[in-house]
Amino acid sequence: MAAARNAFDNGPWPHTPGYERARILHALHTILEERAFELAELESRDGAVPIRKTSYVDIPLGLHMLSCFAEMARASPYEPLHWNDFPSMSWNFVWREPVGVCAQIIPWNYAFCMAIWKIAPALATGNTVVFKPSSLAPLTSIALVRIIHESGLLPKGVLNLVNGPGAEAGEYLVNHPQVDKVAFTGSTEVGRKVMAAAAGTIKKVTLELGGKSASILLPDADLDLAIDGVLFGVFHHAGQLCESGTRCLVHRSIYDEVVRRLAERTAKLRIGDPMELETDVGPLISHAQREKVERYIAIGRQEGAKLIVGGSRPEGAQYEAGPYLQPTIFADVDNRSTIAQEEIFGPVLAVIPYNTTNEAVAMANDSPYGLAGAVWSRDLRAAIDVARRLRTGTVWINDHHILNPRAPFGGYKQSGIGREMGRAGLAEYTEPKHIHVDLGARRDERIWWDVVVPTEQ
């Protein structure tokens, strides 16, 4: 903490010009790219993430994001405002400055990308960082920070990493009086605590929290695309993603066909060792997480939802060591039931029928969360109309999970506060300072009269 504070208050980084910060971030990108395979393997071993995902998605996406943030580092800190003529002529502008020392806390899922999303925009805008990964999957974060340190490209103290459990290391960072901003990604439950703790010293807070996103299939959806898309939406990384499409709202006219095809396709997914290229769905992050998901499956059964596929642990010696769980789908789910309202964070899909588009929109929005959603339709005008009515930070039309470094990502309602990525995300790491330059030459153009009465000319 002292290193980050000192680097911000006395070091060169906050005053380093954007083009130079951009050059350094691009150079780090080149160094990391050479280590991409090693990082993918580490991410798979640490987070039980299928190697196909880490090699083709997580590491390339994280690196792509880093190069985008490097470009964004060149954004001018100067934002012109209109000249003002009250009370006298003045030149006004905004100068964007770094916020200061940023404490950044991430969860165990998508760990490498998550680390890039936190660290790169903070550095791009001239902040210093104390970063804490999750104890459950810290290895790629440690490797990332180590590689950056070894490059010698950043001034000392600008980027720091601490490990440890949230209740100790995390709380310490959030409560620390020397921290100017907390950027937290994790559960809504812990996000609430972070927000309360940050209130002590009125820290800036951005929160990226849980979700219960809906995939809405309009009656004209291209089912060959939508069935696989919905399964990708929910079973990517075994459902352990905040923006997973865990509710699937299906128009009654196609409901029976969709339910049948979802079940058939799911039964064919290959559950297995994350290090095998053939694996579609790997194990969950921990045994405790599997037990939590199993409790929700039991609740789904008790509440009367119809289990159409999965629901238990896969059988076979190869599954005994890890917390494997079959991808699971419930049909005829009531949107007010527990499995449709609470975040499960595992491979469980709730399929819900609807009769009208208004009903689908109302159900999608009937959730404490508002992170993301998807609409599947051949009619783009109808799909955009639904997208605009969803109270969520992101909506995909005919896709899922696509995160764009130039687009803001974040949640409405209890899915969070603020945005990551895009211009909005970068702005969260700056303080906009208004500078007013008064050009009025005459004393009588000033409004100082209540304090200083003008003297006779």
The catalytic residues are 208, 242
Q: Binding ligand NAD by CB under 6 A: which of 97, 171, 303, 359?
A: 171
Work out the angle between the directed axes of helices 111-124 and 36-47 (0-180°, nearest 10). 120
Work out the angle between the directed axes of helices 59-72 and 36-47 (0-180°, nearest 10). 120
* Position 383 contacts ligand NAD (CB under 6 A): no
For residues 36 and 157, the answer to whether their CB atoms sit within 8 Å is: no
Nearest to 143 by CA among 122, 172, 163, 168: 163
Contact region with ligand NAD (CB under 6 A), list: 3-11, 50-58, 182-190, 262-270: 182-190
CA distance 454 to 270: 84
Two structure tokens written together for 213: 């996103």
Size of the site for ligand NAD (CB under 6 A): 31
Q: Which residues pair with 78 in a beta bridge?
A: 95
* Position 140 contacts ligand NAD (CB under 6 A): no
Which amino acid type is present at position 397? Answer: I
* Position 158 contacts ligand NAD (CB under 6 A): no
* Position 402 contacts ligand NAD (CB under 6 A): no
CB of 105 to ligand NAD, least distance (A): 5
Contact region with ligand NAD (CB under 6 A), list: 143-151, 168-176, 304-312, 379-387: 168-176
Nearer to ligand NAD, 171 or 334 (CB): 171
Nearer to ligand NAD, 202 or 441 (CB): 202
Alpha helices in 178-251, H assignment, sequence order: 188-198, 223-235
* Position 280 contacts ligand NAD (CB under 6 A): no
Contact region with ligand NAD (CB under 6 A), list: 31-39, 141-149, 165-173, 266-274: 165-173
**How many other CB atoms are found less than 10 A from the CB of residue 189?**
11
* Distance between first and last Cα of the chain: 57
Alpha helices in 271-314, H assignment, sequence order: 287-302
In degrees, rounded to 5, the angle at the alpha carbon of residue 422 between the alpha carbons of residues 418 and 426 is 65
CB of 18 to ligand NAD, least distance (A): 26
* Position 239 contacts ligand NAD (CB under 6 A): no
Backbone dihedral region for residue 246 (phi beyond 0: left; psi -120 to 50: alpha; all else: beta): alpha
* Position 206 contacts ligand NAD (CB under 6 A): no
CA distance 364 to 248: 9
* Pattern 338-377, ligand NAD, x by CB under 6 A: -----x-x-------------------------x------
Two structure tokens written together for 77: 């800190």
Q: Which residues contact 353 (CB under 8 A, 6 or more apart)?
A: 249, 250, 251, 252, 255, 332
C-alpha pair distances (Å), 232 with each of 220, 227, 269: 20, 9, 11
Question: 3-state SS of the chain: helix, strand, coil percent to 5?
Answer: 45, 20, 35
* Position 134 contacts ligand NAD (CB under 6 A): yes
Q: Which of residues 85-114 bind ligand NAD (CB under 6 A)?
A: 105-110
* Position 159 contacts ligand NAD (CB under 6 A): no
Two structure tokens written together for 23: 């050059």
* Position 193 contacts ligand NAD (CB under 6 A): yes
Nearer to ligand NAD, 194 or 221 (CB): 194
Burial 235-274 (b: 16+ CB within 10 A, else e): bbbbbbbbbbbbbbbbbeebbeebbebbbebbeebebbbb
Nearer to ligand NAD, 102 or 106 (CB): 106
CB of 395 to ligand NAD, least distance (A): 15
CB of 425 to ligand NAD, least distance (A): 11
* Position 48 contacts ligand NAD (CB under 6 A): no
Contact region with ligand NAD (CB under 6 A), list: 4-12, 127-135, 218-226, 439-447: 127-135
Q: Binding ligand NAD by CB under 6 A: which of 47, 62, 126, 210?
A: 210
* Position 211 contacts ligand NAD (CB under 6 A): yes
Nearer to ligand NAD, 188 or 279 (CB): 188
* Pattern 416-445, ligand NAD, x by CB under 6 A: x-----------------------------
Q: Which residues bind ligand NAD (CB under 6 A)?
A: 105-110, 132, 134-135, 165-167, 170-171, 174, 185-187, 190, 193-194, 208-211, 242, 343, 345, 371, 411, 416
